[in-house]
C-alpha cells in the first residue's frame, strides 16, 4: 500500500528492493540490514527547513548509529505509523516537526539500541550495563570485544523492545546540538535532485490548465479547433471547473491552452472586490467574538488609566512557492499512481482514492522533496484536479500550473482585522482587550479543532500573550470572506497576532512615555526566557545608539511556536516613502536545538519571507478575480534589497521549540516599529504604504 521514495545519499538512488536477508526493523523509523546499512524512515517532509537532517540526527543519536553511513527514506502514506502526534495524521507544518517527534523518535531509537545491546549481552554472556555503543557498534570494554550492529541483527530479531528505554542525557549528545551538514543539499547544487515537478515516468505527457478567472466560476463552452491543430497538442480535457491541454511537452500544452476559446460561466462572485472584503471584515469585527481567554475584570481595567484603541489589518497573500503547483498522475481502471510533493501525504493518497473511487491499497503516492511549501502543500486541490485530468488521459500525465494560474488560484492567507484596546498607568498595562476577526482555516482543514467558535490557530500567540496584564480578554470572531478560498500561510495564526500586539505595544510605550524596549522589559516578569531574548537582541543591535536622520530601530518580542524570539530592525525611509531595511538582529531561545545551523538559516530565511510580505505582499480582488499574476506584479524581495541579518542563539536545556515560521512573524512588527521610529508615522496595515510614509496620505 502506497509507495515510498528512497533517497540514498551514500548509495545510488534506488527504490527499496526486497531485502536478501531479514532486516532488523524494531519500529517504523529504523531498519538495519545484514550489511550494516542503517535506513532511517522520515515521517516529515523536507521542504528546505532541514528536517530530514534533524530527524536523522535525533534517530542516529539515540541509536548510536554511524551518522556518515545512514540512508534516508521517505515514509509511505500511513497515519498510524507516521502520523504527526499533534495532529493524528501525516502533516508537516506549524513549525512542529521536532516538537512533536522529539520524544517519540528518541524513544524509538533508544529502544532499538537497547535491543542491540541485549543481543550483544546474550552473545558475549556479559551484563548489558557493561556494554557501550558508538558509531554503529556494540563494545565490551573489559574484554575488548566489539560487534557491528549488522552482526547482531539476527539475534536481535526475537527480542522485545523495552517500553521505556532510558534516553541519553543532554550532555552526552554527540550529534544533537552540532551544525552537521545537511543530507539533502549535495544533490540540490548539481541538478540531480528530483522535485515533484521533475518526475518523469516513462511515456509521460505534459499538461497545463486554466480555471475560471472568477472564483467559483465554471466552464461554459470550449472551442478547441485551433488548439488541436497545433503541433504537439494531443488532447483537450474539459472538466467542470478547469480546461486542460495535454501535449508532447509543456510548450505545446501552453500554446494549446492559449489557442483555446473558452467561455466561462462566471457565477455569483463576478462582482466581488477588495472593497467588499474589507467592508465585510470591518463590519464583522464590531460583533463580540467567542472568548479565547479571560483574566481579571476587563471592563474595570479598561476604565482605569489612559486608554488607547487601534485596529490592525493584514491582506490576502499568495504562497508563491518557487516550485509551482504540479502533480503527475497515471490512472488505469484498477490503479492510480501519483508523483507529487505534499505536506500531507495520507491526505494526498485519500484524495486520489476519493476522486478515482479506488481503494487505498490501489493508490500509490510517491512523495518528493518540496520546492517550497509555506502551507500551500497542506492542501490537496492540485492533486484532485490532476487526477481528474489523468482519468481522461491514456498513460501518465504531468500537470503543471503556470505561475499565473498558481497565483490566481491559490488558497490564500486570510485577511485579518485585529482590534485592540488597552489602558496604561505608570508604565504598566491595566486592561487589555484583543478582538481577532478573520477566516477560520482550522474549521475547514481540521474541523474537530474548531470548538465553541474558537479557532485555536487564529488565536495562537494572541491568547498566550507573555506580558504582565491583570485584566485581559481575547476574543475571536470567525468571518469568511466572500469568494476567496483561505488556507494556512507560513506563520499562520501568530502572523496577525504578533503584528497587532507588537505594534500596539509600541504605541502603548509611546503613550506611557517609555522607551519601547524598557516598556516591554518591565512587563515580562513572568516570561524570563522572552525577557532574556529581548535584552540580548537589544544589546547586540546597539539599542539606544544614535542613528542618522530618517533611520529608526524597532523592536518586537514574540512567544510563538514554542520559541522565544526578539527582533530589532533598522530601517531608513526616504522622502518618497521608500524603505531601505539596513539590518535585522534576532535573539532566539528555542530550547534544545538539534542543528543550530538550520535554526539560523530558518531565521534568516523567515525574516526575509516576512519582510517581503510587509514591504510588498498583497493580493487584491476586482470583479471576482485576483489582480496579481506573476512576479512582475506580485513582488518579491531580492538579494539587492536584503538587509544584513544577525541571529544569536541562546543556549537552553528546555524542550525544543519550533522555528520554521518564527522569522516570518517577527519581521513585520519589527519593521513597522522601526518605521515609526524613523518617521513618527504609525502604519497599522500591511503592506506598508509609501504614500503614507512620505506624507502624501494621512496615516
* Least gap, CB of 555 to other proteins (angstroms): 21
Q: Three cell numbers at 638?
A: 531580492
Q: Note the helical H segments in 285-341.
A: 298-301
Which of 217/610 has CB closer to other proteins?
Answer: 610
* Least gap, CB of 55 to other proteins (angstroms): 16
Contact 154, 115 (CB under 8 A): no
Residue 128 to residue 133: CA distance in whole angstroms = 11
Contact 476, 292 (CB under 8 A): yes
* Least gap, CB of 403 to other proteins (angstroms): 4
Residues paired with residue 478 on neighbouring β-strands, in sequence order: 438
Q: Three cell numbers at 600?
A: 539560523
Which of 431/663 has CB closer to other proteins?
Answer: 663
* Least gap, CB of 637 to other proteins (angstroms): 8
Which of 324/657 has CB closer to other proteins?
Answer: 324
Return the DSSP state at 195: B
Which of 339/476 has CB closer to other proteins?
Answer: 339
Strands 336-340 and 363-367: parallel
Cell 501535449 -> residue: 247
* Least gap, CB of 214 to other proteins (angstroms): 23
3-class secondary structure, 276: helix
* Least gap, CB of 31 to other proteins (angstroms): 26
* Least gap, CB of 528 to other proteins (angstroms): 30
Q: Three cell numbers at 505?
A: 505595544
Q: Three cell numbers at 403?
A: 505561475
Which of 358/611 has CB closer to other proteins?
Answer: 611
Residue 193 to residue 323: CA distance in whole angstroms = 13
* Least gap, CB of 400 to other proteins (angstroms): 7
* Least gap, CB of 452 to other proteins (angstroms): 37
Which of 204/699 has CB closer to other proteins?
Answer: 204
Which of 335/644 has CB closer to other proteins?
Answer: 644
Q: What are the b/e assignments for 560-582, b being 16+ CB within 10 Å? A: bbbbbbbbbbbbbbeeebebebe
Give the residues lining the site for other proteins (CB under 8 A).
Answer: 47-50, 179, 181-182, 184-186, 188-195, 197-198, 200, 206, 231-232, 248-251, 254, 320-324, 369-374, 400, 402-403, 597, 601-602, 604-609, 612, 630-632, 636-640, 642, 644-645, 663
Contact 574, 678 (CB under 8 A): no
* Least gap, CB of 527 to other proteins (angstroms): 28
Which of 231/653 has CB closer to other proteins?
Answer: 231
Which of 238/636 has CB closer to other proteins?
Answer: 636
User: Could you tell me how many residues make up the chain?
Assistant: 699
Q: At what angle do helices 345-356 and 381-390 cross, to 10 degrees?
A: 40
3-class secondary structure, 26: strand
- Cα of 258 vs its chain's centroid, Å: 34
Which of 600/621 has CB closer to other proteins?
Answer: 600
In sequence order, which residues have a C-beta less than 8 Å from that of residue 648 and are 6 or more positions away? Answer: 536, 537, 540, 585, 586, 587, 588
- Cα of 557 vs its chain's centroid, Å: 20
How open is the CA angle 383-197-18, to the nearest 5 degrees?
A: 85
* Least gap, CB of 412 to other proteins (angstroms): 16
- Cα of 119 vs its chain's centroid, Å: 41
Which of 353/619 has CB closer to other proteins?
Answer: 619
Contact 212, 219 (CB under 8 A): yes
Contact 647, 588 (CB under 8 A): yes
Residue 510 to residue 406: CA distance in whole angstroms = 43
Contact 443, 450 (CB under 8 A): yes
* Least gap, CB of 198 to other proteins (angstroms): 4
Q: At what angle do helices 662-679 and 492-511 cross, to 10 degrees?
A: 30
Query: Residue 439 burial by CB count (10 A; 0-12/13-18/19+): exposed, middle or buried?
Result: buried
Which of 273/642 has CB closer to other proteins?
Answer: 642
* Least gap, CB of 176 to other proteins (angstroms): 17
Which of 545/640 has CB closer to other proteins?
Answer: 640
Cell 541579518 -> residue: 645
* Least gap, CB of 204 to other proteins (angstroms): 9
3-class secondary structure, 441: helix
Which of 119/259 has CB closer to other proteins?
Answer: 259
Amino acid at each position: 500500500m502506497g509507495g515510498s521514495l528512497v533517497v540514498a545519499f551514500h548509495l545510488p538512488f534506488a527504490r527499496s528492493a526486497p531485502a536478501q536477508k531479514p532486516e532488523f526493523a524494531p519500529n517504523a523509523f529504523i531498519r538495519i540490514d545484514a550489511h550494516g546499512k542503517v535506513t532511517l524512515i522520515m515521517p516529515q517532509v523536507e521542504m528546505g527547513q532541514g528536517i530530514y537532517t534533524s530527524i536523522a540526527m535525533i534517530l542516529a543519536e539515540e541509536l548510536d548509529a554511524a551518522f556518515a553511513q545512514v540512508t534516508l527514506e521517505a515514509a509511505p502514506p500511513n497515519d498510524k505509523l507516521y502520523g504527526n502526534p499533534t495532529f493524528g495524521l501525516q502533516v508537516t507544518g506549524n513549525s512542529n516537526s521536532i516538537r512533536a517527534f522529539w520524544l517519540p523518535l528518541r524513544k524509538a531509537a533508544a529502544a532499538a539500541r537497547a535491543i542491540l545491546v541485549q543481543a550483544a549481552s546474550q552473545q558475549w554472556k556479559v551484563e548489558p550495563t557493561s556494554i557501550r555503543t558508538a558509531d554503529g557498534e556494540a563494545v565490551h570494554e573489559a574484554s575488548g570485544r566489539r560487534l557491528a550492529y549488522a552482526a547482531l541483527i539476527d539475534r536481535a530479531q526475537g527480542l522485545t523492545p523495552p517500553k521505556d528505554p532510558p534516553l541519553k542525557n543532554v550532555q552526552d549528545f554527540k550529534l544533537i546540538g552540532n551544525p552537521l551538514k545537511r543530507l539533502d543539499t549535495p544533490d540540490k547544487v548539481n541538478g540531480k535532485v528530483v522535485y515533484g515537478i521533475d518526475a518523469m515516468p516513462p511515456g509521460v505527457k505534459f499538461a497545463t490548465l486554466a480555471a475560471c478567472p472568477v472564483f467559483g466560476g465554471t466552464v461554459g463552452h470550449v472551442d478547441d479547433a485551433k488548439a488541436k491543430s497545433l503541433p504537439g497538442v494531443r488532447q483537450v480535457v474539459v472538466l467542470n471547473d478547469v480546461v486542460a491541454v495535454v501535449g508532447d511537452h509543456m510548450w505545446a500544452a501552453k500554446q494549446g491552452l492559449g489557442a483555446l476559446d473558452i467561455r466561462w460561466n462566471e457565477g455569483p462572485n463576478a462582482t466581488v472586490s477588495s472593497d467588499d472584503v474589507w467592508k465585510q471584515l470591518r463590519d464583522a469585527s464590531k460583533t463580540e467574538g467567542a472568548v479565547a481567554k479571560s483574566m481579571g475584570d476587563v471592563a474595570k481595567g479598561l476604565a482605569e488609566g489612559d486608554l488607547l484603541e487601534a485596529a490592525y489589518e493584514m491582506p490576502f497573500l499568495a504562497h508563491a512557492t518557487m516550485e509551482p503547483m504540479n502533480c503527475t498522475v497515471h490512472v488505469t481502471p484498477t490503479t492510480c499512481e501519483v508523483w507529487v510533493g505534499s505536506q500531507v501525504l495520507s491526505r494526498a493518497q485519500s484524495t486520489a482514492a476519493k476522486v478515482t473511487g479506488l481503494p487505498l491499497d490501489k493508490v500509490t503516492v510517491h512523495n518528493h522533496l518540496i520546492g517550497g511549501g509555506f502551507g500551500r502543500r497542506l492542501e490537496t486541490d492540485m492533486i484532485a484536479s490532476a487526477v481528474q485530468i489523468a482519468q481522461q488521459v491514456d498513460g501518465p500525465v504531468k500537470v503543471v500550473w503556470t505561475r499565473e494560474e498558481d497565483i490566481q488560484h491559490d488558497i490564500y492567507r486570510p485577511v485579518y482585522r485585529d482590534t485592540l484596546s488597552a489602558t496604561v498607568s505608570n508604565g504598566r498595562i491595566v486592561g487589555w482587550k484583543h478582538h481577532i476577526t478573520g477566516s477560520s482555516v482550522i474549521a475547514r482543514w481540521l474541523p474537530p479543532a474548531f470548538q465553541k467558535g474558537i479557532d485555536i490557530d487564529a488565536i495562537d500567540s494572541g491568547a498566550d500573550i507573555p506580558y504582565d496584564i491583570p485584566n485581559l480578554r481575547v476574543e475571536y470572531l470567525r468571518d469568511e470572506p466572500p469568494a476567496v478560498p483561505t488556507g494556512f500561510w507560513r506563520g499562520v495564526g501568530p502572523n496577525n497576532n504578533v503584528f497587532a500586539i507588537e505594534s500596539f505595544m509600541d504605541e502603548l510605550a509611546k503613550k506611557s512615555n517609555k522607551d519601547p524596549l524598557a516598556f516591554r522589559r518591565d512587563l515580562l516578569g513572568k516570561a524570563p526566557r522572552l525577557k532574556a531574548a529581548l535584552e540580548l537582541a537589544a544589546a547586540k543591535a546597539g539599542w539606544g545608539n544614535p542613528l542618522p536622520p530618517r533611520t529608526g530601530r524597532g523592536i518586537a518580542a514574540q512567544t510563538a511556536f514554542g520559541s522565544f524570539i526578539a527582533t530589532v530592525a533598522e530601517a531608513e525611509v526616504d522622502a518618497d516613502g521608500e524603505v531601505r531595511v539596513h539590518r535585522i538582529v534576532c535573539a532566539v531561545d528555542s530550547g534544545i536545538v538539534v542543528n543550530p545551523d538550520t535554526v539560523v538559516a530558518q531565521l534568516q530565511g523567515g525574516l526575509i519571507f516576512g519582510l517581503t510580505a510587509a514591504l510588498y505582499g498583497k493580493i487584491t480582488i476586482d470583479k471576482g478575480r485576483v489582480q496579481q499574476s506573476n512576479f512582475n506584479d506580485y513582488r518579491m524581495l531580492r538579494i539587492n534589497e536584503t538587509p544584513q541579518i544577525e541571529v544569536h542563539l541562546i543556549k537552553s536545556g528546555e524542550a525544543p521549540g519550533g522555528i520554521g515560521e518564527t522569522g516570518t512573524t517577527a519581521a513585520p512588527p519589527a519593521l513597522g516599529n522601526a518605521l515609526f521610529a524613523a518617521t513618527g508615522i504609525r502604519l497599522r496595515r500591511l503592506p506598508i504604504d509609501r504614500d503614507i510614509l512620505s506624507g502624501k496620505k494621512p496615516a
